[in-house]
Structures are given as structure tokens and as C-alpha cells.
Amino acid sequence: MNIGKYARYFQSTKTPFVANEIRWFLKHGRDQLASAGVFSDLPEISDTFEKVGDQQLVALYSQIHETLGVKLIFPTVESVLAGSMSGLSAQQIAALGMVQWHAHLLSQDADMMTEFLRMTFTVMDDNHPRIVENHEMRCAAYALRSEVLLRVIRRALELLR
Amino acid sequence: MDWFFYLTPVITALVGFVSGWGLFELTEWRKRTHHQQEVRSALMAEL
């Protein structure tokens, strides 16, 4: 979902990628909710979003102005890395370690976003624009880190299959 | 035939020990692989 929520931070060359991620999230999110028995009467939205063009979809999501980042936790990854009987290969363990590392970097960006957002309410005068700019930079960093984390997770999944 | 008299219990004990050990290892291996399979599924679901 991070890719969709921070769509406005991605360059126009990445429009097809962002659009695909939004579609994937909508479909996957709906399926997950349905399989868990939550909101089982959700309408089939994926077909509607399939018909909307990439540009239009990304433009729609670019209107979202997210100011706070979400920290992602991976309790199973953490316990597998801490345990000695996971039965995973060195390559798989390395991939999971990378997932955890990038999730950690993402949470650092999230922390900085929170900090700079808080400062926008307290720091005034000449420094205010600087704080706003820093917050914006952190939002962009968070968006880019989300993409990296997504790729790292997909690579780990490939290795686990 | 005296050697047979003395060796039989030793061989029986050895065979018993080896098969018991093998059975224990097999059970442990099955439990371990089952657990690893569960962990793998949980991991993939989380990711």
C-alpha cells in the first residue's frame, strides 16, 4: 500500500510500476479480507481498476498527501533469523536478513517523518520552510525505501518457494 | 559354541539400541521437517 499512498513521490518513468502495484494491492487486499471473512460482501473492484489507465490511476493516488510513515513489523522473519532450526539455506537466511534490514531503515524514515512533522508545529519563522522541506524529503525517502523493501521481499519470496 | 552363548545378548542389545536410536531419529526428523514446513508457510504468508 505504501507505493500507492506515496505515488506522488515516484518519477513519471515509474508510472506503470506504481499503477501495477496499486492494482496488485487492491486485488490482494480484497482477496485477503475476503479469505479472512472480513467484509466478505466487498464488491469486485479489480475489474474497475483494470480499465482505468496507468496515468489516471497514479494521478488519482497522487492526490493522497501522507504525512506519517507506517513502520512494518515482521515477527516471523525475526524469530526465524533468531532461531537455529529454521532449515533454510544460507541464501534464504541472507535474503530474510535483508528484508529485516530494509524494514529497519523504513522505520527510521518513518521516525524522521514523525519528528519533522512534529517540528512543523513548533519551529516557526525562518526555519519553518526548512523543516517543511526536510519533512518532504523524508516522505520521498520513505517512498523510495518502500519500493526497495518491496523488491527485497519479492526476491526473498522467490528464494523461499 | 560358548562364544555364541556370550555374544547373543550383546548382538541383541546392539541391534535393539541401533533400531531404537534410528526410530528416535526418524521421529525427530519428521517433527523437524514438519515444523520447518510450517515456518516456511508462515514466513511466506507474512511476506
- Determine the distance in angstroms separating the CA of A12 from the nearest CA of chain B, rounded to an integer: 28
Instruction: List the single residue in B32, B33, B40 with the smallest CB-CB distance to A160.
Output: B40
Is some CB atom of chain A closer than 8 A to the CB atom of B38?
A: no
Is some CB atom of chain B closer than 8 A to the CB atom of A159?
A: no
ipTM of predicted complex: 0.71
Q: Which of B19, B3, B47, B18 is nearest to A99 (CA)?
A: B47
Residues of A in contact with B34 (CB under 8 A): none
- Give pLDDT tens digits for A63-118: 888 888 889 999 999 999 998 777 888 999 999 999 999 999 999 999 999 999 99
- Give pLDDT tens digits for A17-43: 888 888 888 888 777 777 777 776 666
Q: Do A87 and B33 touch (CB under 8 A)?
A: yes
Q: Which of A39, A55, A2, A56 is nearest to A24 (CA)?
A: A2
Q: Kindly identify which residue of chain B lies nearest to residue A155, measuring between CA atoms.
A: B47
The three cell numbers locating residue A104 = 529497519
Q: In the block, which residue shows the cell 499512498?
A: A5
Number of CB atoms found within 10 A of residue B35's CB: 13
In b/e form, how buried is each residue of A33-54, taking b as 16+ CB within 10 angstroms? Answer: eeeeeeeeeeeeeeeebeeeee
Class at the top of the CATH hierarchy for domain A67-161: mainly alpha
* Domains of chain A by residue range: 1-66, 67-161
Q: What angle do CA A103, A104, A105 make, to 5 degrees?
A: 90
Q: Do B43 and A85 touch (CB under 8 A)?
A: no
Q: Is the pLDDT of residue A58 over 90?
A: no
The three cell numbers locating residue A33 = 479480507
CA distance B5 to B17: 19
